Amino acid sequence: MERVYQAIFDVAADGIFVIGGDGAVLLANPAACALLSVDEAALIGRPIGEFLHDPADDAALLPCPSARVAAPREMVAIRADGYRFPVEVVLRDVARASGPNLIAIAHDISARRATHKALQSREELLRALIATVPDAVVVIDAEGTILSFSAAAERMFGHPAAAVIGRNVKCLMPEPYRGQHDSYLQRYLATGEKRIIGIGRVVVGQRANGTIFPIELQVGEVETGGRRLFAGFVRDLTAQEETERRLQDLHARLLHASRLSTLGRMASTLAHEINQPLTAIANYVQAGRQLLAAGRAE
């Protein structure tokens, strides 16, 4: 059995350190040496604190060998060249006839940490982008439950995110759409027939104060972590419709003014055409009067 344990010790992928009661390294497997880029001879007899650092306690680089720590903990490994990197360490007490020993199993989590940091940065970037998008962004799951509610959505609908996250998205709709929304979603999930998803349409929304207003809705679908999610991009058309009404009113006024201008020109032309013969007639009448007056004088 000892050979089996030795084989496991030698081929283990994680670094294994056997530490004596004084905190010195008694044994280290090949993976531990590779982890720290040192030979076993450089580890044996050296304080484990020179190689594993506990960031939670600078004074005690490693807990006392008599300590029993059940859960893995993050620590910092220090390579021979001084390079530091994160490791996850599991500590176990081992009672032996020669005295208590501590086994430390160290796993390099640099790649995991880098991946987590990259995902975190990406999430922060996406959050920042969504926060700057002027359109409201609402993310729901396949049951219609709101998972994300952007700042623009808060301003548009008048609901704080905390008040709507976890609720069905139909709370943002007036009747009859509110009562019909779940059946629309279920029909799409069952048939795949798209009526809004990937197409977009003009519908209406309802603000927290009950005001109903026109919106342009674009919905995209994404699958992540085995879940189907739907992202709705909502644009408030209230100002656009008001602008269109104003333009229509202005257009009607311009047409009216154009008609009045046309009538004015026609009246001026008619007056000119009529005034000329009337002037001639008046002149003839005046001349006739003068001739009649001259005849009487003779």
Tell whether the model's pLDDT for residue 209 goes beyond 90. Answer: yes
Domain boundaries, the chain: 2-113, 133-236
- Say if residues 59 and 46 touch (Cβ distance below 8 Å): no
Tell whether the model's pLDDT for residue 26 goes beyond 60. Answer: yes
2-113 and 133-236: same fold? yes
Percent of the chain with pLDDT over 70: 77
Tell whether the model's pLDDT for residue 171 goes beyond 90. Answer: yes
pLDDT confidence bin for 113, thresholds 50/70/90: confident
What pLDDT shows up at residue 59? 45
Show the CA angle centred on residue 178, arms to residues 173 and 181, nearest 5°.
110
* CA gap 77, 104 in Å, rounded: 12
* Most confident segment among 7-21, 123-137, 141-155: 141-155
At the fourth CATH level, which superfamily is domain 133-236? PAS domain (3.30.450.20)
* CA gap 184, 200 in Å, rounded: 15
Q: Give the burial class of 297: count Cβ atoms within 10 A of its Cβ; 0-12 exposed, 13-18 middle, 19 or more buried.
A: exposed
What pLDDT shows up at residue 96? 61
Tell me which architecture the domain covering 2-113 has in CATH.
2-Layer Sandwich (3.30)
* CA gap 70, 115 in Å, rounded: 26
Tell whether the model's pLDDT for residue 141 goes beyond 90. Answer: yes
What pLDDT shows up at residue 297? 53
